Amino acid sequence: MNTNLYEKLNQIKPTGIQPKFKTVEELRAFQAQEQLKSSELVNKNRSNHFLKKLMSESGIIEKMKTCSFDNYKITNEGQQSALDIAKQYALNYENEPDRGFIFFGNSGTGKNHLACAIANHLIAIGKTVLIDKAFNIVSKINECYSDRSTLSDTDLIRSFSKPDLLIIDEVGLQRKNNNEQLLLTSIIDNRINTFKATAILTNEDPNSLEMFLGFRSIDRIHEGKPVVVNFNWGSFRRGSK
Ligand SMILES: Nc1ncnc2c1ncn2[C@@H]1O[C@H](COP(=O)(O)OP(=O)(O)OP(=O)(O)O)[C@@H](O)[C@H]1O
Ligand SMILES: [Mg+2]
C-alpha cells in the first residue's frame, strides 16, 4: 500500500472509526508481522506433516506411539538402569549414529517400550526409524521371489538399509534358516557400510543370537559396539515388580 492509497482510505473511512494504523510505517510493520506469522504457520504445518510421515513409515504400532521415557515406570533397579541407558542412547544418538543396541531378556519387561521411546524421540528430531519383526523382514524379502512381485530382493534389502535406525524385533522367534541369515546379513552389512545403526530386541541371550542371525550378522552388529541391556525382571503384563 502506498502513501496515497493510505491517505485516500483515511478520507473515505466512516467517522467514529478508530484507524488501526496511524502511519504508513505502522501499517508496514503490521504487514511484516502478519507475513512472518503466516510463514511460521506454513513451516509448522510442513514440519508436522513431515513428522507424521516419518511416524507413519516407522512401523511403530498405535499402542506404542505413546511410549516415552516418562511413562516407563520404575519399580526396581534394573528398570532404572535400562531407562537411564535408553535415554542416554537417544540423547547421544547424533554423536554416534552408527551405534546400535541389543535389548534382551524376559517377556513383558519393556524392551519394545524403551525401543519405541528411543524411536519416538528420534522421529521428533527428524530421523527415520523402522521397527519390524525379523520374521516379517524375511517374509517380505521372500515374497519378492514370487512371480507376481514387482519388487526385487535388492529393492527391499535397500529399503531396509535406508532408515537411520532399524530395530529388528523378535529375533529368535524366526525359523533358523541359511537363506534368512543371508538376507539379514545383507541388510546389516549395508547398514554398517553406510554408518547406520541396527538394534535387536530378543528374548534370547546375546551369545545365542548367532544361531538366528548367523555369525556374519552378529559380527557386524558387534562392530558397531552396541549398547547391551539385560531385561532380567518379571513381566509388567503380569503386574510384576
Ligand atoms: N516399566 C514399565 N512401565 C510402563 N509400562 C511398561 C513397563 N514395562 C512394560 N510396560 C508395558 O507393558 C507392555 C509390554 O511391554 P513390551 O512390549 O515393551 O515388552 P517386551 O519386553 O518387548 O516383551 P516381549 O519379550 O514379550 O516382546 C507394553 O504395553 C509396555 O508399554
Ligand atoms: Mg517385545
Q: Is 101 a pocket residue for ligand 1 (Cβ < 6 Å)?
A: no
Residue showing cell 532404572: 80
Ligand 1 atom closest to Cα of residue 73: 3
Helix (H) or strand (E) holding 205: none
> Which of 93, 115, 92, 90 shows the shortest CA–CA distance to 102?
115
Q: Is 78 a pocket residue for ligand 1 (Cβ < 6 Å)?
A: no
3-state secondary structure of 225: coil
Q: Where are the domains of the chain?
A: 3-13+21-54, 61-238
Specify the pairing of strand 227-231 against strand 197-202: unpaired
Nearest-CA residue for atom 8 of ligand 1? 110
223 C-beta neighbours (distance < 10 Å), count? 12
Q: Is 104 a pocket residue for ligand 1 (Cβ < 6 Å)?
A: no
What is the residue-wise DSSP string for 57-105? TTT--GGGGG--STT---SSHHHHHHHHHHHHHHHHGGG-TT--EEEEE
pLDDT in tens, the chain (241 residues): 556 766 777 777 777 777 677 777 888 888 888 777 777 777 776 778 888 888 889 999 999 999 999 999 999 999 999 999 999 999 999 999 999 999 999 999 999 999 999 999 999 999 999 999 998 988 888 888 888 888 888 888 888 999 999 999 999 887 666 777 888 888 998 999 999 999 999 999 998 888 888 888 888 888 889 999 999 999 998 875 5
3-state secondary structure of 116: helix
Helix (H) or strand (E) holding 199: strand 197-202
Locate 146 and state its grid cell.
Answer: 514370487
Q: Is 110 a pocket residue for ligand 1 (Cβ < 6 Å)?
A: yes
Ligand 1 atom closest to Cα of residue 110: 18
Residue showing cell 542412547: 89
In angstroms, what is the span from residue 64 Cα to ligand 1's centroid?
Answer: 10
Rounded Cα distance between 60 and 186, Å, is 23
3-state secondary structure of 215: helix
CATH tag, 61-238 = 3.40.50.300
Rounded Cα distance between 204 and 212, Å, is 10
Specify the pairing of strand 101-105 against strand 197-202: parallel
Locate 189 and state its grid cell.
Answer: 552389512
Q: Is 113 a pocket residue for ligand 1 (Cβ < 6 Å)?
A: yes
Ligand whose nearest atom lies closest to the CA of 112 = 1
Helix (H) or strand (E) holding 43: helix 24-56
